[in-house]
Amino acid sequence: MKIMDSHKTTSVGDSFRVNMQVDKYRAIYYAGASGDFNPIHIDAEFGKMVGLGGAILQGLCTLGFTADAITTWVSDPGRLKKLKCRFSSPVRMGDTLTIEGTVTSIQQERAALAVLVKNQDGIEVLTKVHTEVEV
């Protein structure tokens, strides 16, 4: 993962962009760490059978990629104070996610970020992302 912009101080307009490749084993790794072995995540045939077109990545794994991009950019996981979203579109093994964030405001030692998480087709996989980091 490569961060495009990194700042020691945070200002309105500061931004970052990260591309993340979802490898074919990611859902299995995440299942082992989280205990989420739902077959829609680890069995492509089951995913097809239930109409998903194959296995899909756990939503919280996608959110974890987003949290990692933000905390890497601010250089400290402890500075992430709020992160919430709506899971809007499935992520598949082999997808490339682009995570982009821009500081939109700073109030009372917290910066609000506008964050977009899209797949390689430009489809937002997370929407209504609300993020705050300590500045």
Is 35 within the bounds of a domain? no
pLDDT averaged per 10 residues in sequence order, the chain, 135 residues? 48 96 97 97 97 97 98 96 98 98 96 98 98 96
Give percent helix, percent strand, percent coil of the chain, each to the nearest 5: 30, 35, 35
pLDDT of 10: 82
Determine the pLDDT at residue 5: 42
The contacts of residue 98 (CB under 8 Å, 6+ apart) are 17, 18, 19, 20, 116, 117, 118, 119, 120
Structural domain that includes position 69:
15-22+60-134
- At 8 the pLDDT is 55
Q: What pLDDT score does 7 carry? A: 45
Count up the domains in the chain and report the number.
1
For position 75, which CATH number holds? 3.10.129.10
What is residue 121's predicted lDDT score, i.e. its pLDDT? 98
In a domain, residue 79? The reply is yes
Residue 9 lies in a domain: no
In a domain, 38, yes or no: no
Q: Is residue 3 part of a domain?
A: no
Give backbone dihedrals phi and psi of 112, rounded to 5 degrees, phi first: -95, 140
Is the residue at 54 inside a domain? no
In a domain, 31, yes or no: no
| Residue 104: closest CA among 4, 35, 12, 3 | 12
pTM: 0.90
